[in-house]
Amino acid sequence: MEKRHKIYEGKAKILYETDDPGLVIQYFKDDATAFDGKKKGIIRDKGVVNNKISERLFKELEAAGIRTHMVKRLSDREMLVKRLNIIPIEIIARNIAAGSLAKRIGFDEGTVLPRPIVETYYKSDALGDPLLCDEHVFMLELATPEQLNAMRDTARKVNQVLTDFFAERRIRLVDFKIELGTEYDATNGDLLLGDEICPDTCRLWDMETDEKLDKDRFRRDLGKIEESYAEVARRVCGDDLVAGAQT
């Protein structure tokens, strides 16, 4: 597999072309941003940890019948993935009120929701990722009604699988964001899970103490950021992945 030129650089990852037009290399950076890029920083070894956590979670989801873009992890910071046409909708599933939901509807953070909910946001940095109604989705032609239903069904299934997976590791899955897309040369509308699933994209709380083990530690200046990411990696992947982050 030959790594070719950079095709896209995002806030946390870089995508490189390969000699296969259907495959790209996803490179995980240590850069961290929050609040629409207004807060910037580096979380040491985050790229290594998120690559390995994503690999483990994608494997778990594939085993449960959910298709993902992952082909294989290539190195500490690189994952070979299928090239997707990403639908510009961020799907968020929530089990416990936190973050923007707590703020929007006035629930105390930590309130367990009567049942999991799934929301749609416009993936647009320029607009600050606003919440979308279905009418907005169809007016903007971001997805068909069938695709939107499929995206919500996938989010619910991902939520079930990952809630159980994390609970076995004494972690509460509070909420998470996923992105989906069609394969670049697809002749059908089948959706694959793309991007990454890791402490940057999920809220994860220790089950005994409710201690936050995710990007909120960076967003809210809570300290012990590297240690928390490494703790999630230890529980999810079963070993101490990043020796440097333990100190």
Q: Among 24, 25, 202, 233, which residue sits at the site for ligand 5GP (rule: CB under 6 A)?
A: 202
Q: At residue 218, what is the residue type?
A: F
φ and ψ at residue 134, rounded to 5 degrees: -55, -40
Q: How far is the CB of 199 from ligand 5GP (least distance, A)?
A: 8
Q: Which stretch binds ligand 5GP (CB under 6 A): 43-51, 68-76, 140-148, 198-206?
A: 198-206
Helix (H) or strand (E) holding 94: strand 89-96
Angle separating helix axes 46-63 and 225-237, nearest 10 degrees: 30
| Structural contact between residues 175 and 94, judged by C-beta atoms closer than 8 angstroms | yes
- Is 129 a residue that touches ligand 5GP (CB under 6 A)? yes
- Is 80 a residue that touches ligand 5GP (CB under 6 A)? no
- Is 116 a residue that touches ligand 5GP (CB under 6 A)? no
Q: Among 55, 78, 90, 231, which residue sits at the site for ligand 5GP (rule: CB under 6 A)?
A: 90
Query: Quick one: 3 or 44, whose CB is closer to ligand 5GP?
Result: 44
| Structural contact between residues 184 and 22, judged by C-beta atoms closer than 8 angstroms | yes
- Is 203 a residue that touches ligand 5GP (CB under 6 A)? yes
| Structural contact between residues 90 and 125, judged by C-beta atoms closer than 8 angstroms | no
Rounded CA-CA distance 37/118 in Å is: 24
Binding mask 206-235 for ligand 5GP (x = CB under 6 A): ---------x--------------------
Q: Which residue is nearest to ligand 5GP (CB)?
A: 99
Rounded CA-CA distance 173/207 in Å is: 9
Q: What residues make contact with ligand 5GP under the rule CB under 6 A?
A: 90, 92, 98-101, 129, 175-177, 200-203, 215
